[in-house]
């Protein structure tokens, strides 16, 4: 009797379909440089059609987007303060059949040393008066609140472009000494732009701030969706309002020398989630032949 039961169990087991293994995906990454302050373009080629895909990278979520050829792309930022080392991008998603995907991908971040710059500005910007500090604190809290808000939808589809035609300086990441006092590293890129130069939106997005702030002067912040924000500062005038949607290349204002500056120029900062990255690295990471300006 025992033998017959055992045989029956063996037959039933043989009839069961084998457990379906989680599908693997092919992952490649590339960037202008694998150093702090850069954006990595991660391309995933699945063996099965995917319904959703994202990843966890350096403590934040990286959203991926399906392309017409069946691949998925995501943009993984390396914050300017990230130490050198090997880090894991943890892909997670599911196929249209409901199968889970969980695959690690190692990325090596190389060391980078940023230079120091020394600038001299009006004393009120180096050591603000006590009665101005509440305003500065409110403005800093407001901008951080904006950057910490994630709009899951990607509002852009084409590559990012520079907001002015002028040459960019190598100012990103420089450690600043202002009137002899050490300050935070410069988290944006400056462009040579005479007062009155048209400033355009680097990509499609929604205006979430258009105001005159203490340190950055007349400032516009654009939410491009998917956690990507452009911060354009020191404008002489602003041509947009909160809540408006702007297209890639649409004028948002004119360059100038408002706020804490040493002369007319445009400051462009880019945030992807919590990460501070060089906006020109995203221009490179999103560039395609069809997007050439």
Neighbours of 52 (CB within 10 A): 14
As its CATH architecture, domain 22-109 has Sandwich (2.60)
Q: Are strands 85-95 and 50-57 parallel, antiparallel or unpaired?
A: antiparallel
Confidence (pLDDT) at 24: 79
Confidence (pLDDT) at 167: 81
Confidence (pLDDT) at 4: 42
For 177, the 3-state DSSP assignment is: strand
Return d(Cα 40, Cα 34) in angstroms, integer: 8
As its CATH architecture, domain 116-288 has Distorted Sandwich (2.70)
Return d(Cα 54, Cα 56) in angstroms, integer: 7
Q: Are strands 228-238 and 266-272 parallel, antiparallel or unpaired?
A: antiparallel
Return d(Cα 140, Cα 121) in angstroms, integer: 20
Q: What sections of the chain are H helices per DSSP?
A: 2-15, 123-126, 133-147, 279-285
pLDDT in tens, 128-160: 888 889 999 999 999 999 999 999 999 999 999
Domain with CATH 2.70.70.10 in the chain: 116-288
Q: Token pair of 199, please? A: 């400033």
Q: In what order do the strands lie in the sheet with 50-57?
A: 25-30, 39-46, 72-77, 60-66, 50-57, 85-95, 100-109
Residue pair 172/185 in contact by the 8 Å Cβ criterion: no
Confidence (pLDDT) at 19: 43
Domain with CATH 2.60.40.10 in the chain: 22-109
Return d(Cα 214, Cα 134) in angstroms, integer: 11
pLDDT in tens, 51-91: 999 999 999 999 999 998 889 999 999 999 999 999 999 99
Average pLDDT, rounded, for the chain: 87
Exposed/middle/buried for 2, CB within 10 Å: 0-12, 13-18, 19+?
Answer: exposed
In the chain, what is the straight-line distance between the N-terminal and C-terminal CA atoms, in Å? 81
Q: What is the pTM of this model?
A: 0.85
Residue pair 267/258 in contact by the 8 Å Cβ criterion: no
pLDDT in tens, 201-255: 999 999 999 999 998 999 999 999 999 999 999 999 999 999 999 999 999 999 9
């Amino acid at each position: 009797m025992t033998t017959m039961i055992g045989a029956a169990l063996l037959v039933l087991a043989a009839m069961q379909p084998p457990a379906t293994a989680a599908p693997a995906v092919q992952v490649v990454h590339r960037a202008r440089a694998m150093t702090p302050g850069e954006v990595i373009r991660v391309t995933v080629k699945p063996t099965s059609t995917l319904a959703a895909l994202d990843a966890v990278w350096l403590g934040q979520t990286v959203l991926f987007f399906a392309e017409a050829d069946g691949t998925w792309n995501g943009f993984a930022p390396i914050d300017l303060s990230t130490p050198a080392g090997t880090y894991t991008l943890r892909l997670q998603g599911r196929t249209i059949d409901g199968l889970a995907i969980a695959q690690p991908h190692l990325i090596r971040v190389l060391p980078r040393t940023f230079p120091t710059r020394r600038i001299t500005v009006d004393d009120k910007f180096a050591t603000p008066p006590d009665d101005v500090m509440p305003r500065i604190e409110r403005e800093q809290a407001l901008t951080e609140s904006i950057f910490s808000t994630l709009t899951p939808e990607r509002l852009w589809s084409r590559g990012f472009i520079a907001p002015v035609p002028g040459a960019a300086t190598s100012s990103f990441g420089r450690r600043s000494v202002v009137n002899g006092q050490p300050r935070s590293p410069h988290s944006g890129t400056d462009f040579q732009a005479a007062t009155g130069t048209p400033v355009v939106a680097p990509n499609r997005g929604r205006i979430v701030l258009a105001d005159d702030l203490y340190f950055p002067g007349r400032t516009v912040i654009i939410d491009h969706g998917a956690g990507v924000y452009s911060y354009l500062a020191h404008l002489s005038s602003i041509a947009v309002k909160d809540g408006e949607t702007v297209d890639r290349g649409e004028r948002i204002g004119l360059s100038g020398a408002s706020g804490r500056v040493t002369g007319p120029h445009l400051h462009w900062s880019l945030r992807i989630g919590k990460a501070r990255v060089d906006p020109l690295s995203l221009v490179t990471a999103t560039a395609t032949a069809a997007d050439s300006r």
